[in-house]
Structure formats: structure tokens, C-alpha cells
Chain A
Amino acid sequence: MERSEEYIKNERKKEWRVELQKKTKAKDRMTIERVQMPESAPEERIKSQRIEVNKGLTAEEAMREATRCMDCVNPTCMEGCPVSINIPKFIKNIERGDFLQAASVLKETSALPAVCGRVCPQEIQCEQRCFYVEKLHQPAVAIGHLERFAADFERESGKISVPELAESNGIKVAVIGSGPSSLSFAGDMVKLGYDVSVFEALHEIGGVLKYGIPEFRLPNAVVDVEINNLRRMGVKFITNFIVGQTESLDDLKEEGFKAFYVGSGAGLPRFMNIPGENSNGILSSNEYLTRVNLMGADAEDSDTPVLRGKNVVVVGGGNTAMDSVRTAKRLGAEKAMIVYRRSEEEMPARIEEVHHAKQEGIEFSTLTNPIEYIADENGRVKQVTVQKMKLGEPDASGRRRPIPIEGSEYTIDASVVVVAVGVSPNPLIPNSVKGLDVSRWGTIEVVKDKMQSSIPEVFAGGDIVRGGATVILAMGDGRKAAANMDIYLKEKYLSQKVEH
């Protein structure tokens, strides 16, 4: 959200902030070392999918880390945050020990701070733009850890503030999908007085937060608290409902829905189309993670099976690949390996995940690319043929392009292979709604900053608009869409109502 510089400056001049600024000298702040996130021991945590790796900061650790923050006149960190969280304001509240206030600052702009504190790629967002990094070439203030601390504190205190709701205006809006983008949209709209219904195809609410990101990174309980808050605020959740199949957009219009937000995500897994890829034992990261995270297949008493293997190879270098390979380890793989075609530097995964994966004994084979799978007589994969790669000139993504090295092929043993090479937009909605402009890549076209599609009453955001992106970007889109849909609906319906 854009926020005026003036507002930020004035906030900074508040008495309590000035007092804190004076209390500790800048020089002393700079001598504090960046806090280390306490972690579960690698050999313990790999025994279960459900032991959270990062344990969270203590109040004392959080306050000390908050003291490092300079409360900059020009807080560049905020420019790095896609939703412009007022970072110094929340951090200074932690410094002074008012953790609930810190949490409420987060909630001014972010619907799910406990989630973002855990999964944002901070090192390329807020933290990359921190004064410490830009000017001192030192480790950034641990903004993500602090964000998680404040949000967790609020949740655990049981004193979650339910925001004030505007008087109900009776206008029905429908939300398609229940990922982070939809949740943040729903939260804003219900606050504005709309009658909000969220339709989800799966049997669980949360989108990728539930079926994709594993519990060792993001416990379901954290997500559920937020969902229950929305429920208490009046948002209706309808699971097992596929818009476009169970009912069409037109059916919903007839039932009185005046506008729609499409947050249907980028659910379609990509494969590499190389020989042998349809052998048994080769599956998409979506299938693998869904079986474990949504269906609980790691537990003995779940009816859903999952493949366990001695040697598991995961192809890819993003968060999805890291989540898959670490899941494999937790399912008992003796050897779990990443095969990635570029070098570690180009890996799109969060640095922390790569670091944690290494602690857990994950092997990395970078600059290697699978070119063929070899199956046994039962059609089950037994080996992957890979080829060595070298890096050439940067490509469109700005990363150096991998080039195969002829004659460098060799094989790796694998009884399970997880393909995590990206996803495409979910085609269900683009295919089922007439008149909706869709790009060459299958993403829904929207007017930037408004998130309005070619159909005026249909807004969209998150991965269905961006392709695979991040939780915080998806949430930011939800907020923008809510603000603009509010204007659209008020002009269209409420002014009319007044006239009549």
C-alpha cells in the first residue's frame, strides 16, 4: 500500500519514538550482533514433518534485536516490502515492549503477519533494503523474525483484536479460491461491510499455505487461527465448491453476487517432457506435497498412500523443491538430493531454506539437469540420467543461462523422483468465463494497481495474475483489489440506492 511520506515522518516524531531514539546511541545499536533464530536440532526435526524448524525468538531476544534498528529517517526497508509495512514503527514497539501494539501495526497492512514472518524471502525484500545492508554492509535487522515474534505473541496471548467492521451494506461478493490472496481480500472486504463468501475447490481452506508449504515451516495451526478470525468477522467459507464446475460465475450472479475476486492460484504443475517421465515413482512436487501436507500421508493412520524411497531425487531449485526434498528426508529417505541446472547462486529458494536443507543432510547436485529416466521391469523409476551444465550469458530472467555440456552424462540411482520445475496458472477459471482476457501464459489480465479484469465486476490477483510468485505479493494484490472493488461497488450500487 502506498503510504504518504508525511505520515511516516509524523509517526516517527511521536513522543515515544523520539524517547527511544534518544535512549540508545546509534553506535551502541550497531555493536549488537544480529540475533540467531533458535532452531530445532536437525537430527531431531527430520524425524517428523510436524516439528517446526524455527522456534521463534524469546521476548528478550526480540527486544535486543529491535534495539539494533536505527529508526531511520528514511526507512528504505519499507520500500523493499511489497505491502509497505511500517517496519520501524512495529519494531520500535517491540523495543519498548509493547508487543500487542507491534502486532496491530503489522495488521494495518498485512492480513497474515505470522505467515509472512515465516515465509517471506526477506533477504531479497525488506531486509535487503535495510540500512545495515545498504550502508554498513552488515547483516540486516532481522525484520522477518521480529514480524513473526509480534504476530505469534498476539496469537498466543489469546488477545487477538477483531478489527472494527463497518455496518453491513448487504452487497454480496464471491471469492474464488482460498489462498493468501483471497484471504487478505476477504478480510478487507468484510471490514468494509460486504457480505463475503469464499469458495474453495479443495476440502481445506488456505491454498498453498495448507497443501504446499510443509508444517515444519508453517504450522497449519498458525494459518487456522487467521481463518477462524475471518470466520468470526463474518466471512463464509464454502469448501468442495469449484467455481466454473459446481456452479458457473453466471449462476452465482443469479444468486445475487455482485462482484468476484479470482485468487485461484498457479496450480498446474509443469513437467519437463523428457523420456521416461511418466514412469511410476516420478511425481510432481504438487502431488508429493499434497499427499503429505493436505492428506497427512506421512501418518500411519491416513488412508492416502505416499511413496517412500531410499534414494529420492528432487529436480528444481525453488522453495517447492526445497520443501519436497526436506519432506523426503522426513519420510525416511537415506539419500535425498537436489538436482538443479544452474548454480546455487541462482537458486530461487529462500536462503534460509537452502541452509536448513544442508543442515539436514540434503545433497546438492547443481549444474546438472535430468535428460532421461530409466525404469525397471515393473515400470518403476530406478535411475536418472543427468547431464552436466555450464553457465552462459544472462537470460530474460537476468540469471545466467545453463548450457549443456556434451558427453557429460551420467546416472544417479533414484526410487522416487519429484519434479519441481514450476507451475502454470490454474486454467479452470480462464477456461470457464467468457469475455475474460487471458495472456499468452494463461494468466488473467488486469488493470495494474486496480486488479480489475476485462469484465468490470471480476477482479483477480495472486498467482493467477502473476504466475508463480510469493505469499506477500499475493496478499498485496488482494488488498489492492479490495480497495478498488469497494470503489466500484459503492459507485455502482450504493449511490443508486441513495437516489431511489
Chain B
Amino acid sequence: MNKIVEKENFSEKVVKIVVEAPLIAKARKPGNFVIVRVGEKGERMPLTIAGADIKKGTITIIVQKMGVSSIKLCDLKVGDFITDLVGPLGKPTEIHNVGTVLCCGGGVGVAPLLPIVEGYKKAGNKVITVLAARNKDLIILEDEIRKNSDEVLIMTDDGSYGRKGLVTEGMEEIIQREQIDECITIGPAIMMKFCALLTKKYEIPTMASLNSIMVDGTGMCGACRVTVDGKTKFTCVDGPEFDAHKIDFDEMMSRLGGYKVEEKDKLDHFQE
């Protein structure tokens, strides 16, 4: 179990891994994630299931190198085994036919966005997707997203690909152009915060998928807690998706830095 059968480098920092996990492949739904652990001293790390092949019994994960755990995972080769892999976790995305859906993905957030885009398309929606990244190299999964979207808009901070500008600029144009019935945003917390502020202005129901710090992923530790509508929720079991207009993004961003010093120590130690 958990054998890596395929690996592709999207960029220096972003790697796609296809791994054997027949039960998870069968059970997963858009929005679900897994927790992986590499090595006996390894950390438990949440990653979204970007795709699955029930026949082959595999799932696809797309990982960005951030610190020790993600680097270790990306260093594994085809034929290697992931020590532990558990899932599917979290509540699946609630996908209905609502009309026109605006999907916004930033950076590696496009990976979790892909199955949701697929789901919306399959449910009969018109899907408009905005992909955003700092530069051309960081735009991932463009072909797969195009295949499942009616329209794709690409935005880069430096203008090296698609249009120059922030994701919200592209979004606003579309919102002003046509009726948007629902919006979903996945990416860095700061991006999701501004997406939410924008769609709130236009009163478009919006979901955001949060990438809180996690340990067990089963509701046991509370590391992943966030404030939604003034109440504490656990991202792993109550989420990872929440009503973006009700999330306390400032608290969420602060909590993402909760182990910053300790994580950096681990990385320095690892690189020695």
C-alpha cells in the first residue's frame, strides 16, 4: 500500500505524486483531503486529494515544498512507499447545479480546486475559473482546469503569463460582466480574505477551503481551530470549507504562524 506509481515536477517547488490507495480512491469526494507521514520520525501533513482513479486504485496529490515534511515527501521516488496515508478526511464540497460558478485558485491552491471545478462542471454549471500566481512558473494544472471550465482567466503578479494583476481584479471584471451565483476560493489565506471581501460586496455566496495547521485530522486535537461566525470550528472535521464571509481570516493567518519558529528550526536542522 501507499506505493508511489508516478511523479511529475510541475516546477522546482511543486510536485505531483500519484500513489496507490485503492480504498481512498473509491471513497473520496471533491474537497476531501488525506494525511501523510514520511518516515518513522515524520510529521503528519494534510494534503488535498487532487484527483483519483478508482480503476487503478490511485490518488493524486500535488505538493508544494514548504518545510521539512513537504520536502521529504517530494524527495520520494517512483516505487517508494509513503509510510502512512490516511483518508479521505474532511467534509466534501457541497456541489449543486446553481447556474454560474466562479472558481478562484491561487498558487498550489489550484490543486484542491481542480476536483471542485470538475464537480461543478459535471453538475451542469457554467464554470469560470481564475488562476493566479506570482509568475508563469507557478501556474499549475492549466490544461486540466481548462478541460473542465467554460472560461479560464490567468493572472500573474508580474505579468509573465496571462494578465498582470491580482486575482481580485480579474474576478471583479467577471462579476461586473455577468451574473455569478456562487464562488469558491482556494489559495493563500491573504488571497482568500480579499476574495471574500470582494464577493461580500456583491453578495455572492462564497466558500473558502482552509489550510490550517493540523495534527491528527480527525477532530481529536483542536490544532486546526478557526473562528467562523464567531464560533470555534475544527477545520478537519467541520471543514475544510466554510462560508468565506464568516471566517475570521486575520486570526486564521495568525494561527498559521503558530509554529513558525519551531518549523524553521526543524528545517535548518534538516538542511545541515
Residues of A within 8 A of B218 (CB): 201-202, 242, 267, 426, 428
> In the assembled complex, how far is the CB of residue B60 from the closest CB belonging to chain A, in whole angstroms?
18
Q: List the A side residues contacting B262 at CB < 8 Å.
A: 305-307
**Cβ proximity bits B56-89 to A, threshold 8 Å, 1 near / 0 not:** 0000000000001100100000000001111111
Chain B residues whose CB sits within 8 angstroms of the CB of A241 once the complex forms: 23, 86
Contact of A240 with B227 in the complex, beta carbons under 8 Å: no
Instruction: Please list 26 pairs of residues, one from A and one from B, whose beta carbons are closer than 8 Å in the complex, sorted by A's number.
Output: A201-B86, A202-B216, A203-B86, A240-B85, A245-B88, A245-B89, A247-B23, A271-B232, A273-B232, A278-B226, A278-B255, A280-B255, A281-B258, A284-B221, A284-B222, A286-B222, A287-B215, A300-B269, A303-B39, A303-B42, A303-B43, A304-B44, A304-B215, A378-B257, A379-B254, A426-B220
Once bound together, how far apart are the Cα atoms of A245 and B29, in whole Å?
11
Residue among B87, B220, B265 making CB contact with A269, cutoff 8 Å: B220
Besides A281-B258, A305-B265, 6 other CB < 8 A contacts?
A202-B216, A242-B218, A246-B88, A287-B221, A301-B41, A427-B219
Tally of A interface residues using CB under 8 Å = 43
Q: Mark A223-264, 1 if CB is under 8 A from B, else 0.
A: 000000000000000011110011100000000000000000
Q: Does B118 contact A (CB under 8 A)?
A: no
Chain A residue at minimal CB-CB distance from B32: A245
B251 close to chain A: CB less than 8 A: yes
B181 CB → nearest A CB, Å: 29
Flag if A295 contacts B232 (CB, 8 Å): no
Complex contact A245–B215 (CB within 8 A): no
> A296 interface residue, CB < 8 Å from B?
yes
For the complex, count residues of B whose C-beta is within 8 A of A. Answer: 44
Contact, CB under 8 Å: B41 / A302: yes
Assembled-state Cα–Cα distance A203/B83 (Å): 9
Complex interface bits, B113-132 against A, C-beta within 8 A gives 1, otherwise 0: 00000000000000000000
Asked if B154 is an interface residue, CB under 8 A from chain A, the answer is no
Also in contact, A245 and B259, with CB within 8 A (given A240-B85, A268-B219): no
A269, A271, A426 interface centre (most CB from chain B within 10 Å)? A269
Residue in B72, B85, B251, B255 whose CB lies within 8 Å of A303: B72
Q: When the two chains form their complex, are residues A305 and B227 in contact, meaning their CB atoms are under 8 A apart?
A: no
- A475-496 interface code vs B (CB 8 A; 1 in, 0 out): 0000000000000000000000
On whether the beta carbons of B84 and A203 are closer than 8 Å, the reply is: yes
Any chain A CB within 8 A of the CB of B247?
Answer: no
Within 8 A of B (CB), among A149-196: none
Compute how far the CA of A277 lies from the CA of B265 in the bound complex, rounded to whole angstroms.
Answer: 26
Give the chain B neighbours of A242 by CB distance below 8 A: 86-87, 89, 218
Q: How far is the CA of A488 from the CA of B104 in the complex (A)?
A: 54
Counting CB contacts under 8 A, is B24 at the interface?
yes
Label chain B's interface by main secondary structure.
mixed
Query: A284 CB to closest chain B CB, in angstroms?
Result: 4
Given contacts A203-B84, A378-B254, contact A267 B223 (CB under 8 A): no
B86 — which chain A residues lie within 8 A by C-beta? 201, 203, 240-242, 246
Report if A267-B215 is in contact (Cβ < 8 Å); known contacts: A201-B86, A378-B254. Answer: no
A303-B219 CB under 8 A given contacts A280-B255, A280-B258:
no
B residues lining the A interface (CB < 8 Å) = 23-24, 27, 37, 39, 41-44, 68-69, 72, 83-89, 215-216, 218-223, 225-227, 232, 237, 251, 254-255, 257-259, 262-263, 265-266, 269-270
- Which residue of the partner chain, among A269, A300, A305, contacts B221 with CB atoms under 8 Å? A269
Query: Are B265 and A287 in contact, CB atoms less than 8 angstroms apart?
Result: no
C-alpha gap A284/B262 in the complex (Å): 18
Distance from B233 Cβ to chain A, minimum over Cβ atoms (Å): 11
Q: Which residues of B have CB within 8 Å of A427?
A: 219, 237
Q: Does A283 reach chain B (CB closer than 8 Å)?
A: yes
Contact among A290, A302, A304 with B220 in the assembled complex (CB-CB below 8 Å): A290
What CA separation (Å) do A96 and B202 show in the bound complex?
84
Cβ B23 vs Cβ A246 within 8 A: yes
Q: How far is the CA of A283 from the CA of B216 in the complex (A)?
A: 14
Q: In the complex, what distance in Å separates the CA atom of A40 from the CA atom of B263?
A: 33
Instruction: Judge if A291 is at the interface, Cβ distance under 8 Å.
Output: yes
Q: Report whether B43 and A304 are in contact in the complex, using a CB–CB cutoff of 8 Å.
A: yes
The answer on a CB contact under 8 Å between A240 and B41 is no
Q: Which residues of B contact A284 (CB under 8 A)?
A: 221-223
**Contacting pair B222 A269 (CB below 8 A):** yes
CB distance from A285 to the nearest CB of B (A): 9
Contacts of B23 in A (CB 8 A): 241, 246-247
Complex interface: chain A residues within 8 A of B257 (CB): 280, 378-379
A368-424 at interface with B (beta carbon < 8 Å):
378-380
Smallest CB separation, A482 vs chain B (Å): 26
- Which of B87, B222, B226, B237 is the most central at the interface, judged by chain A CB atoms within 10 Å of its CB? B222
Contact A290-B215, Cβ < 8 Å, known A301-B41, A379-B257: yes
B69 cross-chain contacts in A, Cβ below 8 A: 303
